[in-house]
Amino acid sequence: MTISGNANHQPSAEVLARAAKVQLMIFDVDGVLTDGSLYFDADGEQVKRFNVLDGLGIKLLQKMGIATAIITARSSPIVRRRAEDLGITHVFQGALEKHLALAELLAQLNLSEDACGYIGDDVIDLPILTRAGFAVSVPNGHPEATSRVHYVTHALGGNGAVREVCDLVLRAQNKYEAAIASYLNNSVGL
């Protein structure tokens, strides 16, 4: 089902139409907001690496009125902390049945599946990827995921893929220039 676009990685008309409808963008964590590696410190505590470009992309979505959320199968205080840093208030951790978290979130926000975008990278994400109005995966995702989405990013998970999607959504909704203008006018407000 992948309908990314052409060889220059210009999004197809269908991808842009789907991205234009996004009112809620949902992110998986491992393999999407991170590179998918699990790091442990000397005390055995888990450490995750996040990309600042991705973080600013999420903040730009929020600034332009698009809700954001995290749905992840793992539970980690690091994810809670990152979500707090980014102002993401809808966080579902330990969500082994991700479609149930999606249903709860959509009910809370009174949104339809067509109004949500989701970026995931593995088979555990399929229940949302097959429901979301705008389904996205990363090129280093599992083939079962990448073959069932509307768009596959150029950037790898944990290395700018989320920012690529955030920019795409903002451009599809004609909000990108306004988001960037706040920086040009020195009125950041993030």
Residue with token string 């991170």: 34
Of 14, 188, 29, nearest to 124 (Cα)? 29
Q: For residue 109, which phi and psi values (nearest 5 degrees)?
A: -95, 0
Q: Cα separations (Å) of 80 from 9, 77, 117, 177, 184?
A: 33, 5, 21, 30, 31
Q: Is 121 annotated as a binding residue?
A: yes
Of 42, 87, 50, nearest to 163 (Cα)? 50
Q: Is 43 annotated as a binding residue?
A: no
Q: Is 125 annotated as a binding residue?
A: no
Quote the tokens at residue 85. Answer: 């840093």
For residue 87, what are the contacts with CB-CB under 8 A and spacing of at least 6?
Answer: 59, 62, 68
Question: Listing from the earlier edge strand, what are the strands of the sheet with 67-71?
Answer: 90-92, 67-71, 24-27, 116-119, 134-137, 151-152
CA atoms within 13 A on the CB side of 18: 25
Q: Which residues are annotated as a binding site for Mg(2+)?
A: 28, 121
Q: Which residues are annotated as a binding site for substrate?
A: 30
Q: Which residues are annotated as a binding site?
A: 28, 30, 121
